[in-house]
């Protein structure tokens, strides 16, 4: 069972990391270069493409990690899987408390009449995407470490 959980955790974490990297390296610079009016439309188009796929992927990864932390053979694998699970739960927390509210705020804007704090909100969205990417990348390193101890 542990080997199956390792595969689920690694695959889910790798997919999430790939999407986050694509967002941080490509999507964010593209969106930040757009004028506000175009940003609202492009952001709305991109944001809806990842739901519900990304939340489900991240949640399954966190659950697989936490199951490994409880059931994997050996303390080192359990510790690494537990760390990965906590990191993926942190990704969920940042997403729900930071990125999702900003996404909803952007979606509610009138592109022809953007508020004065527009640039600040875009900057916060960019920073929280970088935070999620860092958390997911660290979780992936922890998952690879867990796999080295669990799959022998």
pLDDT by 10s per residue, the chain, length 152: 889 999 999 999 999 999 999 999 999 999 999 998 999 999 989 888 888 899 999 999 999 999 999 999 999 999 999 999 999 999 999 999 999 999 999 999 999 999 999 989 999 999 999 999 999 999 999 999 999 999 87
CA distances from 52 to 2, 41, 65, 134 (A): 26, 20, 20, 21
- The pLDDT assigned to 75 comes to 96
- The pLDDT assigned to 92 comes to 98
Q: What is the pTM of this model?
A: 0.94
- For 125, half-sphere exposure in the C-beta direction (CA atoms, 13 angstrom radius) is 24
Q: Which domains can be identified in the chain, with CATH numbers? A: 2-150 (1.20.120)
- The pLDDT assigned to 1 comes to 86
- The pLDDT assigned to 106 comes to 94
């Amino acid at each position: 069972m542990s080997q199956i959980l390792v595969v689920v955790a690694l695959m889910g974490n790798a997919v999430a990391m790939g999407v986050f990297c694509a967002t941080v390296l490509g999507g964010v610079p593209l969106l930040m270069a757009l004028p506000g009016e175009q940003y609202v439309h492009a952001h709305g188009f991109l944001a809806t493409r990842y739901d519900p796929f990304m939340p489900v992927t991240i949640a399954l990864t966190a659950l697989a990690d936490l199951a490994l932390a409880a059931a994997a053979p050996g303390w080192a694998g359990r510790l690494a899987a537990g760390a990965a699970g906590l990191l993926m739960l942190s990704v969920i927390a940042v997403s729900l408390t930071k990125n999702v509210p900003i996404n909803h705020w952007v979606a509610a804007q009138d592109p022809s009449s953007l508020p004065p704090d527009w640039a600040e909100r875009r900057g916060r969205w960019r920073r929280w995407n970088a935070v999620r990417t860092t958390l997911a990348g660290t979780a992936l390193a922890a998952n690879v470490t867990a796999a080295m101890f669990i799959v022998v």
